[in-house]
Structure 1
């Protein structure tokens, strides 16, 4: 067999991929109104989530292809018993320079130091309201104080990058925009406003509560916030800052024009399926090539071949959210 040669991971549209979103579980303990309003429901006959060794082989293959950033997602990754071991393993893979995690803040206050020691250098924490009663209404849990304590603990533990994620919804929490801006400035933090995204089980909710990212951008610009240049390896957010003021605000607006042109990320589900797009029709199984280190070259070839077929854009504007049942299923 010829030696394996490549110049990084690209698709057929000139996009280069440096960022892997890796789901550790599809289980979540919150019941967010826009994602799992009835709570997580286990499906019979599902295979186990990837083992630590399978994850090591997977991330090693992606690192060989030039990916240097891995975000651990869920469901809720803190529910995965081996989370610390996984983070330590991923951060030790040659070529991986940044390990991040997206969490709802579950047990963050007590585990923040362990996360930092395991190599997690960045956290995105979901905070959809700064009002305790409304937070409980949106998430199904009265845990705002616990989540905020976890964020403080993560800062004390030395985790360098901590961002808040907030799904801003018309008629639900869009009246909190000014409060969020004040919180960001007071604590010198970064926040990401995320558009509600339609999936296969939230069509009615989406139609009632979708708030276009452009409306948020107009509000920020009217207050003197200015758009910042995109950073290498950044996620999908368009980021804003206000001169002389601490804090950053980003907008993730998948319904905006040309959202997909800067896509730099791929997703792998907890069961080992490669998803070229969050809203693609299905995932492609990689698990059969995660059983032995000797399969590494074959795994790299399969990833390269599949990534080359990535579509130019999602089909959300056509009302097509692909095979995604809900955002917790493959990490949002």
Structure 2
């Protein structure tokens, strides 16, 4: 089977699979007014998840990240997780979560096949955490992080969107936190989306400036794996944890793109900031359609743009990051 490759020679080993766009948090940079359903949503089913994952695996995908919204809000989340993990060819199963159910279910999800975990923790100060997320759940989320470390995941990461005037001053506090903990702390540069123009102008911090500061403090680059996400990763001899920076405005950010997205509505998105999406759901009803599904994936990939145009102020049609799984 031909590897998924676009017209610029980039190969794709990594699928970000959204299973819901519902979220129970109200993060200022994503859903400040909370989740607002747009009509009645019919999110992809367990059978559809299985067919999507098999098709991508047949085309060389090795890593699947389950995203949302908040994916663990689905009642059948553990079954969906096991479906993905049991797919031949898939070697890494990751989850991005706000962590509100993690303390109770970390071991259950690890046993179901989850290997890598990203937990959104936008502040280590409970009051600031509440201000950014809209939920007073800091201690519950951090208990979940501890439970995840005890459960033995291959990798645990904390995600933080750094915001000028809010949690931006906590950079040193985050670094102190990973000095003795084997966790990767990832700082995500705020991205402009359709509903967030004024928020972006007010709170954006340059990822490149943070990178230069880290290099001056002795952090050193880590070699990027072929199925890794977009973060530039760093290590320091004095720290048990690692550091990751996701900088979508940096030069050549898209040159190493290796990931595709499928939304909870069953659409293929070639870029987080692309337009519209490619319908897949009409080919997810039966196993006999697998060949057509694979052909559509291969064909659609030839229309992928060389780069996003965020640096020109063009965020495409993406209204907010929860809409197609971030």
Q: Which range, TM-score by smaller chain?
A: over 0.9
Equivalent residues in 2 for 1:131-146, closer than 5 Å: 131-146=125-140
Structure 2 distance, partners of 1:47, 1:74, is: 13
Match of 2:105 in 1: 111
**Distance in 2 of aligned mates of 1:56 and 1:38:** 33
RMSD, matched Cα: 0.9
Q: Does 1:317 find its partner at 2:299? A: no
For residue 77 of structure 1, the aligned residue among 49, 71, 77 is 71
- Using the TM superposition, give the Cα deviation of residue 113 of structure 1 relative to its aligned residue in structure 2, in angstroms: 1.2
In the alignment, does 2:28 pair up with 1:28? no
Residue-by-residue CA offset, 1:119-153 (whole Å, 9 max, x unaligned): 01110000000000000000001111101100111
Measured against aligned partners, the alpha-carbon deviations of 1:177-212 in whole angstroms (never above 9, x if no partner) come to: 000001011212101100000001010000011111
Whole-angstrom CA distance in 1 between matches of 2:226 and 2:258: 10
Alpha-carbon distance, 1:47 to partner? 3.9
SS in 2 for 1:300: helix
Query: 1:320 Cα deviation (Å)?
Result: 0.9
**What is the aligned counterpart of 1:63 among 57, 68, 71?**
57
Match of 2:36 in 1: 41
* Mapping of residues 233-244 of structure 1, within 5 Å: 233-244=227-238
Whether 1:290 and 2:301 are equivalent positions in the alignment is: no
For residues 154 and 21 of structure 2, the distance between their equivalents in structure 1, rounded to whole angstroms, comes to 27
Question: Quick check: 1:251 aligned with 2:245?
Answer: yes
Seen in structure 2, the aligned counterparts of structure 1 residues 230 and 31 have a Cα distance that, compared at 3 Å, is: same
Matches of 1:94 and 1:188, distance apart in 2? 30
For residue 214 of structure 1, report the CA deviation from its aligned partner.
0.5
Match of 1:3 in 2: none
8 Å contact 2:101–2:144 — kept in the other structure?
yes
2:182 paired with 1:192 = no
**Partners in 2 of 1:232 and 1:312 — Cα distance?**
18
Rounded Cα–Cα distance in structure 2 between residues aligned with 1:187 and 1:37: 31
Deviating runs (4+, > 3 A) in structure 1? none
Q: Secondary structure at the match of 1:187?
A: coil
Out of 93-102 and 183-192, give the one that drifted further. Answer: 183-192
2:255 aligned with 1:264, yes or no? no
Separation of aligned partners in 1, 2:45 and 2:9: 33
CA distance in 1, matches of 2:110, 2:324: 24
In 1, Cα distance between equivalents of 2:105 and 2:298: 36
* Equivalent position SS for 2:159: strand
Structure 1 CA distance for aligned equivalents of residues 204 and 58 of structure 2: 39
What SS is found at the alignment partner of 1:120?
coil
- Structure 2: how far apart are the matches of 1:262 and 1:78? 29
Alignment of 1:148-163 (within 5 A): 148-163=142-157
TM-score w.r.t. length of structure 1:
0.97
Work out whether 1:225 is the aligned partner of 2:219: yes
Indicate conservation of the 8 Å contact 2:261/2:270, yes or no.
yes
Q: Secondary structure at the match of 2:32?
A: coil
Residue 155 of structure 1 deviates from its aligned partner by 1.4
The runs of 5 or more residues in structure 2 that have no matched partner are: none
Q: 2:235, 2:243 within 8 Å by CA — same for their partners in 1? A: yes
Any idea what the Cα deviations from partners look like across 1:8-66, whole Å, max 9, x if unmatched?
0000000000000000100110000111111011111x440000001100110000000
Corresponding residue pairs, total: 326
